[in-house]
Amino acid sequence: MANTKALRYDLVVALIKALPKALRRNFVPAPNYAQACLDNMNESQGNLIDALAKQLLRMTGVRLPEDAWQGVELPVHLTMNYQIVNDKGQLLKQGRDLNQLKAQLQGKVKASIKQVAEKGIEKSKLTLWDFGKLPQGYEKKVASMTIKAFPALVDHKNSVAIELFEQEEHAEQAMLNGISRLILLNIPSPLKYLQEKMPNKAKLGLYFNPFGSITELLEDCIQGACVFLVKKYVLDKKLNHLPRDEKSFALVRDYVRADISDSVLTAAIKVEQVLSLRHDIAKKLKGNVALDVIQSHADIKQQSESLVFKGFVSVSGFDKLDDIMRYLKGMLRRLEKLPIDPNQDRLKLIEVKKATDLYINVLSQQRKDKPVAQEILATKWMIEELRISLFSQNLGTAQPISLKRIINHLKDFS
């Protein structure tokens, strides 16, 4: 028993010392605060982290954020050793990192969910909302365990399916694309409107598409515009979640139907301009390259490929097309200035590389069993803005930007 109490004390000291400096300085010296907290806490209070945060609040008036201890690294002897067993009690995996275990067993957990789910919960080849209300969550008790799953519509191009997800975040991500696909299956295609209204110059410009047929490109524009309108509807109506019943679906379907043709026309015209700019960049990168600009040329090529690729409209978002055009114009401007002072370009590229390496490092630290937070993914666009500020200032940035701002933004996630 004494050994358990000593470990509990060591754990509380380690937790206080693991807090960010701005918070930690309120609880110095940590050993004294740890002992005082334990003297006023009892095991019946449940979750140690919650109980500790409450006790520190009572003692100092400092309220800790909910995620204050998220991702903290504790000495190995103070961490739990988790064992994952199946319904027969057989050991599947064990380790001290629960999130890592979840990620490793994700496929098996999904298979288990499918096995115990009641027949009829999952459906496929749906083209109409004729399946009643889609619940936010689904629970099934098996032996002494409760298995929880999250149903969502999943896009299968010519139809949608209802599938169960282990994580709510994955379900929401799938639901946005699934509901957008179901809407497109239930409204007239905007392709005919496009053919009538699209300027001939824009139609010709689409032939610069190196990523498959023009029809595939336009389908990408349609999907991207539909997803954008669904998100806009949810924001405008101040909804907490995407529609999950037939009546709500009908409302968002009609909203999209009213605006989809003009939105797709706008997207297609912008995409033509994007492809034209990409084509101009590719032409300038061809041919013999001087040694002092090889590194810069390789960077511009990589940047272009990361912005314009098959499916880029729906991946990046309809609302990012104007920014992508500006970034491509920035590359052309950079290519014009590059022969004048290649050394200056290399120095600026070092700043971009620092920001990019830091971003990649933060991405590598994120949980593998959950989608990456949008705040983190937004760093990609911050780095694009940094490039504009360094190489093509005359084009202007969408926000104040610097390497320091990107470093500070990522501090919260590393």
CA atoms of 352 and 369, how far apart (whole Å): 29
Shared domain for 39 and 62, answered yes or no, is yes
Nearest CA among 294, 318, 367 for reference residue 98 = 367
User: pLDDT tens across 14-46, in order?
Assistant: 999 988 888 888 899 989 999 999 988 877 666
Whether the pLDDT of residue 122 is over 50: the answer is yes
Whether residue 115 sits in one domain with residue 153: yes
Q: Which of 78, 93, 119 is the last residue of a domain?
A: 78
Would 399 be classed as within a structural domain? no
- Residues 6 or more apart in contact with residue 226 via CB below 8 angstroms: 180, 183, 184, 256, 260
Cα–Cα distance measured from residue 393 to residue 389, given in angstroms and rounded to the nearest whole number: 5
Q: Would residue 304 count as lying in a domain?
A: no
Residue 69 falls inside a structural domain: yes
Please state the rounded mean pLDDT for residues 313-341: 97
86 and 74 in a common domain: no
The pair of three-digit structure tokens given for residue 213, joined into one six-digit string: 């047929």
Number of structural domains the chain divides into: 2
Residue 306 pLDDT > 70, yes or no? yes
Which of the listed residues 145, 173, 201 is the one where a domain comes to its end? Answer: 173
Please report whether residue 211 resides in a domain: no
Q: State mean pLDDT over 182-202.
A: 91
Arithmetic mean of pLDDT over the chain:
87
Given phi > 0 = left and psi -120 to 50 = alpha, else beta, which region is 341? beta
Work out the angle at residue 181's Cα, subtended by the Cα atoms of residues 178 and 182, and round it to the nearest 5 degrees. Answer: 90
Residue 97 included in any domain: yes
Residue 186 has pLDDT above 80, yes or no: yes
Query: pLDDT-based confidence at 129, cuts 50/70/90?
Result: very high
Rounded-to-integer distance, Cα 152 and Cα 232, Å: 20
Measure the CA–CA gap between 99 and 80, rounded to whole angstroms.
12
DSSP 301-327: HHHHHHHS-TTHHHHH-GGGHHHHHHH
Domain closes at, from 157, 173, 189: 173
Residues 106 and 123 in one domain: yes
Q: Is residue 43 one of the residues assigned to a domain?
A: yes
Q: Is 371 part of any domain?
A: no
Percent of the chain predicted with pLDDT > 70: 85
194 belongs to a structural domain: no
Instruction: Mark whether 6 and 37 lie in a shared domain.
Output: yes
Q: Do 61 and 133 reside in the same domain of the chain?
A: no
| Whether residues 86 and 160 fall in one domain | yes
Most confident of 28-42, 143-157, 316-330: 316-330
pLDDT for 66 equals: 78
DSSP state of 71: T
pLDDT in tens, 255-290: 999 999 999 999 999 999 999 999 999 999 998 889
Spell 200-235 as b/e; 16+ CB within 10 A means b.
eebeebbebbeeeeeeebbbbbbbbbbbbbbbbbbe
Tell me the per-residue pLDDT of 197-231, one tens digit each, with 9 for 90 and over.
988 878 777 877 888 888 899 999 999 999 999 99
DSSP-derived 3-state class of residue 145: strand
Looking at the structure, do residues 127 and 47 belong to the same domain, yes or no? no
Lowest-confidence pick of 5-9, 73-77, 381-385: 73-77
Tens of pLDDT, residues 227-252: 999 999 999 999 999 999 999 999 99
Sheet containing strand 123-126, edge to edge, reads 123-126, 160-165, 145-155, 138-142
Most confident of 26-40, 110-124, 134-148, 373-387: 373-387
Q: Are residues 56 and 122 in the same domain?
A: no
Which residues have C-beta within 8 Å of that of residue 257, sequence separation ≥ 6? 183, 187, 188
Banded pLDDT at 148 (limits 50, 70, 90): confident
Asked if residue 88 and residue 59 are part of one domain, the reply reads no
What is the domain range of residue 51? 2-78
CA distance readout (Å), 349 to 187, 300, 343, 407: 47, 10, 10, 16
Higher pLDDT pick, 150 / 83:
150
